[in-house]
Amino acid sequence: MASNPDSSPPAAGSVRPIAVLVDREGLGDTLLKLPFLRAIARAYPDRPIWWIATHETSMAREMKPIVGDLLSHVIEGAGITTPMAQVVPNLRKLPPFDLVFDMRTRIPTVLLARLVLQHRGFYCCLPGYILSDRRPPGRFRRPKGIGARALSLAAAALRHQPEWQGPFALNEKSRRIAAERLPAGPVYVGFAVGSREVRKNWPLERFIDLAHRLVAAGRVPVFFNGPQEGAVVARLRTAVPDALFPQAEPIDADVAPLEFAMAIGERLSAAVANDSGMGHTLGALGVSLVSLFGPTDPERWGPMTVRGIVLRAQDYGGEDMAAIPVDAALAAVERLLADQTGGSASTER
């Protein structure tokens, strides 16, 4: 059972920790569960939280600077789902817990966790919330979305809708650099043009067209970019000379890239993003977000947002992302900019 260096069991008589059980998580998966983690940390500030993964989890890597103040232990390679012969012995190695939140979806492994782990409360996402101590208030079916499903477990434990919004504990240097590169005054609209899969990307020409229209309306486009996207940045700089590229310049070594991206996101009035990790990040930050979907299902993979509009290619004649017209994206951005009032977590579809 691989773990971080401080993953020793709690001392006898100490407060029992909370456990979150997962299988394998990439960055997008952990970002979707970030509202749940924030809700649990706020509701139980006196209880350490252990994030326990059968395989690997981005909570131990990319997300570490963001969740360091929320998680006391991250364990990878715990073997709590497979191989089956090792599941029970590995579960028995874990300490007694106060609450267990099991995000996995295989009934045999969830049942083993419920039976073997010592706990005072057990909550899971199986259909109908079977094996869970309680359902969320007013719910009999689990939500389809990954983020909403996780957050529903917090609601089940708390017996009310959890609080997950608000500012993050970011490195102040990241905020200072972001403020230098995006000074106060203009209306900034973010553009997250990439994703892990080309098929999920709105054509770059559409982003360029949208940026031109926003510039004409007095907005300032802000493009996010990854370290391998130098050629894309060069093309965008030429195509949209009025746009800003705050990530294209070096940052201090003690500022994590994801943290800096979040500091940039805090300065945006709205954003447009593909189904991507950056889209989930912007949603978690509370940025008014236009989410572009084609081959993937927004009901399952859509970001958790306070104010959001989803544009689906299927609503414009096909699954290909090119089906989404620029006019629709512009109208969605302007609608979000016109209504910056607060509200509960929701996304229009």
CATH number at residue 127: 3.40.50
CA 311 vs CA 291, 297, 300: distances in Å? 6, 11, 14
Residue 12 has pLDDT above 50, yes or no: no
pLDDT of 13 reads 53
Cα dist. 231→221, 234, 250, 325 in Å? 18, 5, 16, 25
317 within a domain of the structure (yes/no): yes
Burial class (CB in 10 A: 0-12, 13-18, 19+), 335: middle
Q: Are residues 116 and 176 in the same domain?
A: no
Neighbours of 225 (CB within 10 A): 20
Q: How far apart are CA 102 and CA 123, in angstroms?
A: 6
Same domain for 82 and 8: yes
Q: How many domains does the chain have?
A: 2
Query: Given 115, 130, 158, which residue is the final one in a domain?
Result: 158
Domain containing 220 equals 172-338
Tell me: pLDDT of 10 over 80: no
Question: Are residues 265 and 294 located together in one domain of the fold?
Answer: yes
Helix H or strand E segment including 273: strand 270-274
Residue 101: φ, ψ to 5°: -115, 110
CATH number at residue 252: 3.40.50.2000
What pLDDT, on a 0 to 100 scale, did the predictor assign at position 349? 45
- 190 and 151 housed in the same domain: no
State whether 69 and 209 are in the same domain.
Answer: no
Q: What is the CA radius of gyration of the chain?
A: 21
Nearest-angstrom CA–CA distance, 317 and 294: 11
CB-based contacts of 135, cutoff 8 Å, min separation 6: 129, 156
pLDDT band at 167 (very low <50, low <70, confident <90, very high): confident
Mean pLDDT, the chain, rounded, equals 91
Task: Give the C-alpha separation, 154 to 339, whole Å.
Answer: 29
Which residues, listed in sequence order, are joined to residue 52 by a DSSP beta bridge?
A: 21, 75
| Contacts with 79 (C-beta within 8 Å, 6 or more apart), sequence order | 1, 54, 86, 87, 90
Return the minimum-mean-pLDDT range out of 65-69, 242-246, 258-262: 65-69
| 183 CB neighbour count, 10 Å cutoff | 10
Please give the average per-residue pLDDT across 42-63, as a whole number. Answer: 96
154 and 216, same domain (yes or no): no
N- to C-terminal Cα separation, the chain: 42
- The CA angle 256-25-253, to the nearest 5 degrees, is 10
Instruction: At 103, list the tokens.
Output: 């995000």
User: What percent of the chain is predicted at pLDDT more than 90?
Assistant: 78
Provide the CB-side half-sphere exposure for 337 (13 A, CA): 21
274 beta partners: 292
Predicted TM-score (pTM) of this structure: 0.84
CA distance 250 to 74: 30
* Residue 167 belongs to some domain of the structure: no
CB 48 within 8 A of CB 72: yes
Residue 7: pLDDT band with limits 50, 70, 90: very low
Does one domain contain both 207 and 332?
yes
Q: Domain check: are 127 and 249 in the same one?
A: no
Q: How confident is the model at residue 341 (pLDDT cuts 50, 70, 90)?
A: very low
